[in-house]
Every structure is written in C-alpha cells, then in structure tokens.
C-alpha cells in the first residue's frame, strides 16, 4: 500500500517543482517528511479499533460480598473472607484463590483526592469482596472493627449476592460492632459443586485472632 503512494508523490514533485539541485534536495527532505507523517497517519488509523469490536473489560464475579456503614463516618471496618480451601482475603492479602478485595475502605481516610486542583470526596463507606469462581464447601465471612472512634456501636450492613444465573441476594443482615479489634462471623454459607447455597449459619469462627493489622 505504501509503494504506489511513493510513486505518486515523486511524480507530483516533478510536476510541481522545477528547481536546481539544492532545491531538489530540500524538496526531497520535505516530501520524505510528509511521507513519514502520512505513514504514521496510516498506522494510527490501522490501530484505531471500532469501539464495538472489543476493549471491553469483563467483570466476572459469581458472588459479591459487601459491607457498608454510614457515609462520612471515620471508622474503619474490614471484610475477612475464607474459602473452602482455607484461602483468606482481607486488607493484607487482597487476592487469595479466586477471591479479591476490591477496596479496603478505611472510613474517611483516603476518601479525598485532588482532581485538577479541586478536592473531591467520596463519602461512601463500602468494602467489597468478589468471588470470581466458586468451589464446593463453606465460605466464612467475618467483619473486623479495625478502627473505632466512638463509644456508640457502629451499624454495618452486610450483604452476600449471587450473580449467576440471575442476581439474587442470598444473605442480608445488620450488625452493631462495638470496639476496635472486635471480629465477628457475619455469615457462613455452604455451596454445592454447581454453586447453589445449601446452608447458611452464623457459628462464630475468628479468622484474624486479636484483630491484628
């Protein structure tokens, strides 16, 4: 595709310019530069993808576990989740097995960022763990009160959602956590080998003893 283009530009050059050797060298340089730009232009177009062709980020999750507490609240709640293989995901290990901690929400800490010189705040307090592929057995979902700033208990809303084949809330409950270091088992859920929830219970199982951080 490039060769015919070269021939055309050389021809145009002869038709348009009748100059001496110095001028000819200059026009050669000029046309080579133009040719270079034309080539880069062509490559740029070749690399542009149709937005409908791809580039989609596949967000695959089978289960989503979320903990939410009051907006603008400075306290830090952590999710700690253990899978049937004993993998544990939490703030110090954000990926374990097929589980992923999407964000360690630390209350109001790190909720502010500066965009173009303007400070923007995300007031939401929400911590989310996604389970991207399930296995048969029991998952344990714990809440850890990492940082308490007040004497009144903090209300935390915990939700477990099953994504496929259709979105379904398999567990939802509110908890009141009282003090720094407190770790409670919010729910345990048992899956069969095709991802059906076959048991739910709240037998307590500390995963991070003493609430270390």
Q: Which residues lie near Ca ion (CB under 5 A)? A: 76, 78, 104-105, 111, 125
Helices (H), 72-180: none
Q: Please say which residue, 104 or 183, places its beta carbon nearer to Ca ion.
A: 104
Q: Least distance in Å: CB of 205 to Ca ion?
A: 20
Sign of CA pseudo-dihedral 49, 50, 53, 54 = positive
Residue with smaller CB distance to Ca ion, 158 or 191: 158
Nearest distance from residue 9's CB to Ca ion, in Å? 60
Looking at beta carbons only, is 13 or 100 nearer to Ca ion?
100
At its nearest, how many Å lie between Ca ion and the CB of residue 106?
5
- Report the SS3 class of residue 109: strand
The least distance separating Ca ion from the CB of residue 189, rounded to whole angstroms, comes to 21
CB closer to Ca ion, 125 vs 142? 125
- Ramachandran class of 211: left when φ > 0, alpha when ψ lies in -120 to 50, beta otherwise: left
In angstroms, what is the minimal distance from the CB of 172 to Ca ion? Answer: 20
Q: 51: which residues sit within 8 A by CB, 6+ positions away?
A: none
Tokens of 62: 């089978």
Residue 211: DSSP 8-state: G
How many helices (DSSP H) and strands (DSSP E) are in the chain?
2, 13
Between 76 and 82, CB nearer to Ca ion:
76
């Amino acid at each position: 595709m490039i060769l015919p283009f070269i021939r055309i530009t050389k021809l145009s050059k002869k038709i348009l310019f009748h100059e001496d050797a110095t001028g000819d060298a200059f026009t050669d340089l000029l046309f080579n530069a133009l040719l270079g730009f034309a080539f880069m232009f062509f490559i740029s177009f070749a690399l542009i993808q149709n937005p409908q062709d791809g580039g989609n980020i596949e967000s695959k999750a089978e289960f989503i576990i979320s903990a939410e507490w009051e907006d603008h609240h400075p306290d830090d709640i952590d999710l700690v989740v253990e899978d049937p293989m004993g993998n544990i995901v939490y703030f110090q290990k954000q990926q374990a097995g097929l589980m992923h901690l999407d964000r360690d929400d630390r209350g109001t800490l790190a909720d502010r960022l500066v965009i173009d010189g303007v400070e923007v705040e995300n007031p939401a307090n929400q911590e989310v763990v996604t389970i991207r592929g399930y296995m048969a057995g029991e998952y344990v979902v714990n809440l850890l009160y990492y940082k308490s700033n007040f004497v009144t208990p903090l209300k935390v809303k915990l939700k477990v959602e099953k994504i496929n084949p259709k979105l379904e809330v398999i567990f939802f409950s509110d908890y009141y956590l009282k003090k720094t270091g407190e770790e409670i088992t919010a729910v345990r859920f048992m899956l069969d080998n095709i991802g059906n929830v076959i048991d739910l219970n709240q037998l307590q199982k500390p995963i991070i003893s003493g609430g270390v951080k």
